[in-house]
Amino acid sequence: MNLTQAIKDAKRPFLITGPCSAESPEQLISVSKEIAANGHANVLRAGIWKPRTRPDSFEGMGAIALPWLIEAGKETGLPVTTEIANRHHAELALKAGVDILWIGARTTVNPFAIQEIADVLKGVNIPVMVKNPVNPDLELWIGAFERLEKAGITDLAAIHRGFSVYKHPKYRNVPTWELPIALRERLPDLPIICDPSHITGRRDLLLEVSQKAMDLNFDGLMIETHPNPDKAWSDASQQVTPEGLKAIVNNLILRSKDLNSPDSPILDELRHKMASMDDKLFDILSARMHISEEVGKFKLEHNTTILQQEYWTAVINSRLGKSNDYQLSERFIRQIMDAVHQESIRHQTRVMNKRD
Ligand code: PEP
Ligand code: MN
C-alpha cells in the first residue's frame, strides 16, 4: 500500500486505531471489526512486541499474535500496522505480511537499532512510520528518516507521541508542539500523525490534545482503542472503547487549512495590525538596549558588577504581580523578562569589557 497517498486521499483526520497490545485473537478481531464498522480506522494498530519500562510489565504476546493481526486486516479489509524495535521484529513482520511498520519512541533514540532495521528493509516496498525519540531531539528524529530513505524506504510518516519528563503535572509525555512544527518546516512533505494516547496517558484528555493536533494541521491521529480499556494488559488508563473513540471523532472541530476564504481581508488586516505592533515592540526593545548600555557605562565608572540580584528579583516580581492586569501568563512574562535581561547583559558586557 502507499501510506502517504492514502493519508492525502483520506478525509481528515486519518485514523490509526486499535489496541495498545494484541491480547488474544478474540480481543483484537472483535475491537477491529467494531472500529471498522463505525468508520473509525484507516489503519488498524496493535502492539505485538511492547518495550515496557519495567521488566515485570506485559511485554506483548510476541510473534504468535502476528497471524491475529493479519486476520483482523482480512476481516475488516483494512491495512494493519505494528511496532518493530529490532531486526528480528522487522523480519517477522515482513514475513507475516504486515502492511505498515512503525518504529517506537524507545527505538528512534538508538541509531544502531534504526540502522539495523533499515538494513533489513533494504529493497522492500513497505511504508514506515517513525515515532519521535523519547527525548526532544529533532536531529535524531530526522536522522531516522534519513537512514530509512538511504535504504530506499520513501513512503514515510512521522508520529508525534510526546517526550519523557519527570513528573509532568498533566501529561504522561509532554507534547512540546514546537518539535513537530519544526519537523514540518524541515520536511514539509512528510505526513505527521499525532498520538494523543501516549501524550496524555489519560482518556479524558484525548479530545483536547486531538483537537490541538487538528488545529496545528496534523494529518492524522493514532488512538489506542480497546474493547474493555480498564482491563487492558497495557496502558489501561489511556485506552478508549470504540464508543469512546466515536465521541472523540464526532466532537473534533475540523477547520480549513486554506486561508483563501472570503474572510481573508479581515485576517490580512488583523495580521497587518499585529505586524505593526511587532515593529513598535522591536523599536522599543532597541531603545531599551541603548539605555542598558548607558547603565553599563555607569557601572563601569563605579566599578560595579553587571548583576545586582536583589534588584533584578524585584523587577521580575513586580512584573509577575501584574500578570492579571496584562492578561498574560506568568510563564510568558518570565520568558520575556529573562530574554530581555539576557540581551541587556550582553549589551552591558560589551560596554564594560571593552579593552582597548
Ligand atoms: C505504543 O504505541 O503502544 C507505544 C509503545 O508507543 P511509544 O513508542 O510511543 O511508547
Ligand atoms: Mn500503548
Candidate from 160-164, 188-192, 258-262, 280-284 with smallest mean pLDDT: 258-262
Residues 212, 78, single domain; the answer is yes
What letter does residue 11 receive in the DSSP assignment? P
At residue 261 the predicted structure's pLDDT band, cuts being 50, 70 and 90, is: low
CA-wise closest residue to 28 among 43, 44, 40: 44
Q: What's the CA-to-centroid distance between 47 and ligand 2, angstroms? A: 7
Measured from the alpha carbon of residue 172, the closest ligand is 1
Atom 8 of ligand 1, residue of closest alpha carbon: 104
> What pLDDT shows up at residue 169?
86
CA-wise closest residue to 103 among 89, 92, 123, 124: 89
Residue 160's identity, in one-letter code, is: H
Cell numbers placing 326 = 496584562
Is pLDDT above 90 for 7? yes
Tell me the residue range of the domain where 111 lies.
Answer: 3-251
Cβ proximity of 158 and 186 under 8 Å: no
Secondary structure of residue 158 in the 3-state scheme: strand
Cβ proximity of 223 and 206 under 8 Å: yes
Residues 26, 73, single domain; the answer is yes
Cβ proximity of 3 and 129 under 8 Å: yes
Q: How many domains does the structure of the chain reveal? A: 2
Residues 218, 146, single domain; the answer is yes
Distance CA 5, CA 195 (A): 20
Distance CA 47, CA 108 (A): 16
Residues 67, 98, single domain; the answer is yes
- Label residue 180 exposed, middle or buried (CB < 10 Å: 0-12, 13-18, 19+): buried
Q: What's the CA-to-centroid distance between 48 and ligand 2, angstroms? A: 11
At residue 227 the predicted structure's pLDDT band, cuts being 50, 70 and 90, is: very high
Say what the pTM is: 0.82
Distance CA 162, CA 82 (A): 19
Measured from the alpha carbon of residue 48, the closest ligand is 1
Secondary structure of residue 31 in the 3-state scheme: helix
Indicate which atom in ligand 1 lies nearest the CA of residue 159.
Answer: 9
At residue 167 the predicted structure's pLDDT band, cuts being 50, 70 and 90, is: confident
Secondary structure of residue 252 in the 3-state scheme: coil
Residues 340, 246, single domain; the answer is no
CB within 6 Å of ligand 1 — which residues? Answer: 20, 47, 83, 104-106, 131, 161, 198
At residue 310 the predicted structure's pLDDT band, cuts being 50, 70 and 90, is: very high
Residue 257 lies in a domain: no
Residue 272: other Cβ atoms inside 10 A: 10
Residues 195, 344, single domain; the answer is no
Residue 194 lies in a domain: yes
Q: What's the CA-to-centroid distance between 148 and ligand 1, angstroms? A: 19
Q: What's the CA-to-centroid distance between 316 and ligand 2, angstroms? A: 42
> What pLDDT shows up at residue 257?
77
Atom 10 of ligand 1, residue of closest alpha carbon: 105
Residues 46, 174, single domain; the answer is yes
Is pLDDT above 80 for 263? no
Q: What's the CA-to-centroid distance between 104 and ligand 1, angstroms? A: 5
Percentage of residues in the chain with pLDDT exceeding 70?
Answer: 98
Cβ proximity of 187 and 145 under 8 Å: yes
Residues 197, 306, single domain; the answer is no
Beta partners for 224? 18
Atom 6 of ligand 1, residue of closest alpha carbon: 104
